[in-house]
A and B are shown apart, each in its own frame.
Chain A
């Protein structure tokens, strides 16, 4: 590959940064431009709803690479720059700061918070600035209402409790969902929230949010409601593809790609915005896990530089809710209920598995020591055909 080859990465969060770093680790010597619309250096999002919200970390600690480190890697970083269009014919990214030519472009623009209640006083959490603002609100708030009983809503409810707030967690569905695990952990998570003093309102639809004297009133469909000083909406993300309208790429729920992240010749997508095809079924879907973002980034770097296939990433994510460490690895289908594989050595710790045709397809470690979880991952890895992408060729 010519040393003047230029790769533009649009989106400077973990997925985009990982592409840039992986290209260098794989020996790419051409130009890399990393473009992001935020003013911050590339940072990690998972700590925002955990360590940052809890005040355990100063926000800056989630920064992944310093200016100096980026320079050392030969990555040109341009923040505060929003991509507004992609011209695949002329290989140009159009930004609010000018036009960037590319030989290859990688789309890593992530998601934005879905907003149904778009009004002042309803907070969302997606960016570092969101986290900083939410943290100071939570410090002051006595009563907190969290809309959305998913992983993010659960983490925020947990942080708000630890900061001393009275917390109501509201879910439209009757069950708590937990990322790719689905609702199989709902009973355990409900117990966990209740034991930690969260007022859990499931199967509840919010009909109205009105700010008045004495706080914000959140009205429910059963005629009841709750008063809160802070209302937080955590009802999911929407892929940021609006800048790609008219580019000719296939946009569904995200940028539709093949199983290697190729969206069009010279155009790739990684991370939360990317819907990669499952190599077995051909169905494209997004996976909003940071481990997938990293593995997709590594795979795309390998594809760009060596045109070589990589192993399909195994979904892996973790969360910490009211001090319980929950890690999930593998695949969880709704029709395969979780079974207890092993009771842990300490109170409340357990290893759960999702099994299909006698094979363990997914494992969940609930408060297990890290070594035990690593061992459990082997159950999933040994049950699926593993292609070693890093075998030297």
Chain B
């Protein structure tokens, strides 16, 4: 599972970091930080939810 975040698209809603806190965090501006770009399968459901909830549709996932 590989995560990519579209450059410059994040609007800082923080939904990803809320539902998948082991995988995403936010910087001081609220913008996304990817903590683990290739998380193991135990994070799959949370990461898929983060992808769905992102208002900027900035996160994509290759499984």
Cβ proximity bits A359-391 to B, threshold 8 Å, 1 near / 0 not? 000000000011101100100000000000010
B55 near A44: Cβ-Cβ < 8 Å: yes
Tell me the minimal C-beta distance from A392 to chain B in angstroms: 7
A14 near B28: Cβ-Cβ < 8 Å: no
Tell me the minimal C-beta distance from A41 to chain B in angstroms: 11
Given contacts A64-B57, A291-B53, A392-B45, contact A370 B26 (CB under 8 A): yes
Cβ proximity bits A58-71 to B, threshold 8 Å, 1 near / 0 not? 00010011000000
B17 near A25: Cβ-Cβ < 8 Å: no
Tell me the minimal C-beta distance from A136 to chain B in angstroms: 22
Which listed residue (A294, A370, A377) contacts B55, Cβ 8 A?
A: A294
B15 near A291: Cβ-Cβ < 8 Å: yes
Q: How far is the CA of A18 from the CA of B49 in the complex (A)?
A: 12
Total interface residues on A, CB under 8 Å, equals 29
Given contacts A61-B8, A370-B26, A390-B45, contact A22 B53 (CB under 8 A): no
Give the size range of B's interface with the partner: 20 to 34
* Nearest-neighbor residue (CB-CB) of B15 within chain A: A291
Which listed residue (B13, B26, B45, B52) contacts A298, Cβ 8 A?
A: B52
Which listed residue (B18, B25, B51, B57) contacts A17, Cβ 8 A?
A: B57
Measured between beta carbons, the chain B residues less than 8 angstroms from A47 are: 11
Given contacts A61-B8, A294-B52, contact A21 B57 (CB under 8 A): yes
Q: Which 5 A-B pairs have the closest CB atoms?
A: A370-B26, A64-B57, A370-B30, A290-B55, A370-B14
- In the assembled complex, 9 residue pairs joining A and B whose CB atoms fall closer than 8 Å, in A order, are A18-B52, A21-B57, A44-B56, A291-B53, A298-B53, A318-B13, A370-B30, A371-B25, A374-B14
